[in-house]
Structure 1
């Protein structure tokens, strides 16, 4: 009986320690949508009768931002190169995907 109780207690303890499954992550990239766009939208939507800018739909979802630059610093990053850098953390060159 003592062995059965010990086995039962170990099973309960291991079940309590098990990590829950992580939820899926949805990664949106607003192509051409920088902070200037969000500021312009905020001013466009603002109620001029108030002293403070109203929040927008984006404010609930904006958790962070990142800036990407292509492997060649003399060029502007294209969409595929920036998405690759954001998703993998590795810079790439423009036109790598659309050969």
Structure 2
């Protein structure tokens, strides 16, 4: 079993190394595979994760796409380049935004 200090260190290391993996398919397996030897944990445990990681990866990818879409809408609203007309008629050619 891991002590509280080891658990906190593992949490901190995983938070740092997992930054930005949502946009990369199967990147979580690479991060976990790199972290296991640091804490002297057997790599065989990774084999248990491989079976279900595909399902979790789909959720991470969907969350990433939705988050990026919402962020794009918020930024365009904030800059004043997305009005009600543009949002109601997607796909139409619009004049360039005023800069």
Q: TM-score range by the shorter chain?
A: under 0.3
- Relative contact order higher in (CA < 8 Å, ≥ 6 apart): 2
More helix by share: 2
Max radius of gyration: which structure? 1
Q: TM-score, structure 1 length as denominator?
A: 0.26
